[in-house]
Amino acid sequence: MLPFKVVYHPGYDLNLGEHVFPSQKFRLIQLMLLKEGIAAAPDFVLPDEASDEDLLRAHTPEWIEKLRTGTLTASEIMKLEVPYSPELAKAVWLAAGGSILAGQLALRDGFGCNLGGGFHHAYANHGEGFCAINDVAVAIRRLQSDGVIRKAMVVDTDVHHGNGTAHIFRDDDSVFTISIHQLNNYPAHKPPSDVDLNLADRVEDEEYLETLIPAVAESLEKFKPEILFYVGGADPFCEDQLGGLLLTKRGLKERDKRVFAEARKRGVPVATVLAGGYARRVEDTVRIHVNTIVAAREVSAGN
């Protein structure tokens, strides 16, 4: 069994059918964790859907109403880049609930892991790039509203810049955002994070880690957050269809482990969420995400 809980719901699947976003990956990650004995059935907890009150702390009433009723305009759906369906709406409400729960569990246990979420391109008033609800922003706002944290940090390792998260927290000195991403990639407009680590094309493991880890360590020292939300991207992988970096599976696991170790060293709880992953073989994406859970287990055990 794991020394922390993993949040998962079968409803995380966005029901996209044939799409570059493999939304079946959420189910496949859980299956791999169970099949390989990394986690046991009691390690998993079911989230509730986030409440509208939770969502409205990070999103406009107009956007939430459009998602709830399916009244998005053609241009809004085009920007979202996934077809709207009631299943999609349910999935993103659940993902936000899952990230809230992962944050609560992290505060209790040191780690909390959501097998969904990481929808970092969602702005307060619209969705972009497969992301309709910014679950990490919703979770942070809920934890702050509950009075259990004041300051939070987001470390976003998706190959694409975390534009929605950066924009939502742009004027908020209680949330510190770090994004490490391929500069010459989506999105075209990148609102500034507190720290943006802009990488050239074809960066490999060593340069990536030498860029990320000192920035995380320095930011943790200076900002002193009460929780770290880690957005674990599988898409810096060398065989990703939507990325242009050259990280290996080993390098990606080392990335996760080193970030977790820096937080652990300072007593900062970590809530992990997933992000993009578009490898030609979905098994590679699944393995990279599973390795994030393994890295958390190893750091939690002091390995």
**Residue 136 carries which DSSP code?**
H
- List pLDDT tens digits, range 264-277: 999 999 999 999 99
Q: Provide the pLDDT for residue 99.
A: 98
Average pLDDT, the chain: 97
Q: pLDDT-based confidence at 174, cuts 50/70/90?
A: very high
Q: What percent of the chain has pLDDT over 90?
A: 96
- List pLDDT tens digits, range 143-172: 999 999 999 999 999 999 999 999 999 999
CA distance 162 to 166: 6
Structure tokens that stand for 21 in this block: 């976003």
pTM: 0.98
Structural domain includes residue 1 = no
Alpha helices in the chain (DSSP H): 25-35, 52-55, 61-69, 74-80, 86-109, 135-145, 163-168, 205-223, 249-265, 282-300
Direct distance between the N- and C-terminal alpha carbons of the chain, in angstroms, rounded to an integer? 16
Structural domain includes residue 286 = no
pLDDT exceeds cutoff 90 at 18: no
Give the domain extent around 125.
Answer: 6-281+291-300
Q: How many CA atoms lie within 13 A of 261 on its CB side?
A: 15
Structural domain includes residue 127 = yes
Q: Per the omega criterion (within 30 degrees of 0), is the bond before 191 cis?
A: no
In the chain, the number of structural domains is 1
CA distance 36 to 45: 19
Residue 9, helix vs strand vs coil: coil
CA 29 to chain centre: 15
User: Who's near 290: CB < 8 A, 6+ residues apart?
Assistant: 29, 32, 33, 36, 38
- State mean pLDDT over 18-30: 92
Q: Provide the pLDDT for residue 114.
A: 98
CATH code, domain carrying 227: 3.40.800.20
Structural domain includes residue 155 = yes
Structural domain includes residue 172 = yes
pLDDT exceeds cutoff 90 at 303: no
CA distance 92 to 89: 5
Q: pLDDT-based confidence at 118, cuts 50/70/90?
A: very high
Structural domain includes residue 165 = yes
